[in-house]
Amino acid sequence: QKEVEQDPGPLSVPEGAIVSLNCTYSNSAFQYFMWYRQYSRKGPELLMYTYSSGNKEDGRFTAQVDKSSKYISLFIRDSQPSDSATYLCAMPSGGSYIPTFGRGTSLIVHP
Amino acid sequence: EPEVTQTPSHQVTQMGQEVILRCVPISNHLYFYWYRQILGQKVEFLVSFYNNEISEKSEIFDDQFSVERPDGSNFTLKIRSTKLEDSAMYFCASSDGMRAPQETQYFGPGTRLLVL
């Protein structure tokens, strides 16, 4: 079973929509949950991270973790065309904190 | 804002040739990393480097790969004898600590390597 699973999409939504991006994971040792955004021809950049179950909000972005289901989500409110990118979930494990990435979900927000 | 830079942006090489990918990490960072992303697949960790030595490496990072910090600014990845399956985007990253996720890894824009 793969450690981190993510639907590659693409997910296409109209501007202003609420977007839900999801990942599942199999390793119960994961304690930190991160979301990266990757624009075309760029490296990933850290968007948000959270340690525990529940919600964390940062502007239009909300990260949600359900450890009992091994399921994490990223919600984007009032989506903008500038949000069009690939969103990668990642979970570091062990003492080295090297992240294990999901495949990424491609998001397209059209005007 | 400081950023990680990588050169070249694209490299085409023949199978069996050596390639060196170059990175300039953010100047006050102490930890350096290489990742790769084969087209359509996940970003995969290759190696981390601290205090002039490898601190961790993945199964992908075999004897064909090596890393070096030849001076105070550059960090390089060498692939000694390239194979077709080495074709990928290679990302360099740097951080000022290892206590992720607080001490964020900053990624460069990548070098796209194509092995023919």
Nearest to A4 by CA among A95, A71, A97: A71
Mean pLDDT by 10 residues, chain B (116 residues): 92 97 94 94 93 92 95 93 96 84 84 97
Which residues of chain B have a CB within 8 Å of the CB of A32?
100-101
The Cα–Cα gap between B55 and B39 comes to 27
Task: Kindly indicate the confidence band of residue A94, based on its pLDDT and cuts at 50, 70 and 90.
Answer: low
pLDDT for the residue numbered A73: 95
DSSP A73-91: EEEESS--GGG-EEEEEEE
Identify from B105, B106, B107 which residue to disrupt to test chain A contact, counting A C-beta atoms within 10 A and taking the largest count: B105
Q: What is the mean pLDDT of residues A64-74?
A: 92
